[in-house]
Amino acid sequence: MKVILLEDVVGAGRAGDVVDVASGYARNKLLPSGIAIEASKTNMRTLEHRRAKIAAKKTADKEMAQVLADQLNGKQVGFTAKAGESGKLFGSITAHDIVQAVEENLGFELDRRKFLLDAPLKEVGLHEVRYRIYPEVEAIVKVRIAADGAPVPEETLPAEEGPKDTYSDEILDAEEGETLYTYEAPEPEAEPEAEPELEAEPEAEPEAEPEPEAEPETPAEEEEETQNG
């Protein structure tokens, strides 16, 4: 089925193109959403007028994108993060982190999907990240990552750790005028203190056996003692 695209469609064509697509795709997706119109005789007659309007809109969109690119290009945001002796981060800086830092520090509202990052940033240093605003219009955002405090010994770093989205301890860099975000490494859990050993109670000494009572004297023995006395 032939349709006239009113917007750019990935894999089909650019706005203003007359393309041949599957009938189901056209009737279920392109036509109901207003992305395209049927290439009828009437629509074809008005195509040139539409193409002129589309071209004007493209020009206006590109000019606005260029204005943003000029304002954003070369701007810098900074982060501090725990890092090993080789400069490898204890974690990573993602496109989401950069978008939030740019918005809070520079005042630009950006789309993280437009940052051309192959992978999150995982090393200290200055990184230049491309931000595609419009086809053929890009800006470079500089991301400076500094180690926070003393390097972390390499053997304590995890083999792989997902990106972190939370910040803590905002620091204001007076020279650069930018906000730095510090990642706090989790504190190791303290080992439980050993319970003091209980002292053994001394064994009780056996009680002394009572002495046997003297047998009472008989009358004869009493008389003999009297005589002797």
Q: Residue 114: its pLDDT value, please?
A: 94
Domains and CATH numbers, the chain: 2-45 (3.40.5.10), 72-182 (3.10.430.100)
* pLDDT tens-digit map of 63-105: 999 999 999 999 999 999 999 888 999 889 999 999 999 999 9
In angstroms, the CA 81 to CA 58 distance is 42
In angstroms, the CA 68 to CA 57 distance is 17
| Dihedral sign from CA coordinates of 78, 84, 90, 91 | positive
Identity at 155, one-letter amino acid code: E
Tally of CA atoms within 13 A in the half-sphere of 114 that contains its CB: 17
Confirm if 61 and 129 have CB atoms less than 8 A apart.
no
Q: Residue 15: its pLDDT value, please?
A: 82
Tokens in use for 124? 């200290």
* pLDDT tens-digit map of 140-156: 999 999 998 766 565 54
pTM of the model: 0.51
Q: Which residues contact 116 (CB under 8 A, 6 or more apart)?
A: 129, 130, 131, 132, 138
> Tens place of pLDDT for every residue, the chain, 229 residues?
999 888 888 888 888 889 999 999 889 999 999 899 998 888 888 887 877 887 888 899 999 999 999 999 999 999 999 998 889 998 899 999 999 999 999 999 999 999 999 899 999 999 999 999 998 999 999 999 999 876 656 554 444 444 443 333 333 333 333 333 333 444 445 455 555 554 545 555 555 555 555 555 555 555 555 555 4
